[in-house]
């Protein structure tokens, strides 16, 4: 049996594992590496704060991810396939590492976030296709 997500250390492990996969991913890696040119030393701690706030309601995240994704979409169009792939990769990474109540919560929230991001950055994409 795998552990449930218990604390920030678990969030960090999940986020680090996920973004290691993202950086090497053929479908979405280029968006992070070549288009957004993510500064990982800055981005990863923000993602720890973001997901820790999502799961544990810490209030530690400050920022507007929607604006960043709209700006990214203006540089390189984000498609339904991108959102589907991001979600599939996230869910498989979560399932690989954890199981339990908080694990189910983070997966449900990721589905909601992916849907809302898709609606905001590209309203003509059908968000039901990523569920």
- d(C-alpha 49, C-alpha 11), whole Å: 9
Domain 8-121: CATH architecture, name and number where available: Orthogonal Bundle (1.10)
CA distance 127 to 131: 7
Q: Taking the chain (131 residues) in consecutive chunks of 10 residues, what is each chunk's mean pLDDT?
A: 97 98 97 96 96 93 86 89 96 98 98 92 56 46
pTM for this model (two decimals): 0.90
Which of left, alpha, beta for 125 (phi over 0: left; psi -120 to 50: alpha)?
beta
- Other CB atoms within 10 Å distance of the CB of residue 32: 17
CA distances in angstroms from 47 to 8, 30, 51, 124, listed in the order given:
11, 19, 6, 27
């Amino acid at each position: 049996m795998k552990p449930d997500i218990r604390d920030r250390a678990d969030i960090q492990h999940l986020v680090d594992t996920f973004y290691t996969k993202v950086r090497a991913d053929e479908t979405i890696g280029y968006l992070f590496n070549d288009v957004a040119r993510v500064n990982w030393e800055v981005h990863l701690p923000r993602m720890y704060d973001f997901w820790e706030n999502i799961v544990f309601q810490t209030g530690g995240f400050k920022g507007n991810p929607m604006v960043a994704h709209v700006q990214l979409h203006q540089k390189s169009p984000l498609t339904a396939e991108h959102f589907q792939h991001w979600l599939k990769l996230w869910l498989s990474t979560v399932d690989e590492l954890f199981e339990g109540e908080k694990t189910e919560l983070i997966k449900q929230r990721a589905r909601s976030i992916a849907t809302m991001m898709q609606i905001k950055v590209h309203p003509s994409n059908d968000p039901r296709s990523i569920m």
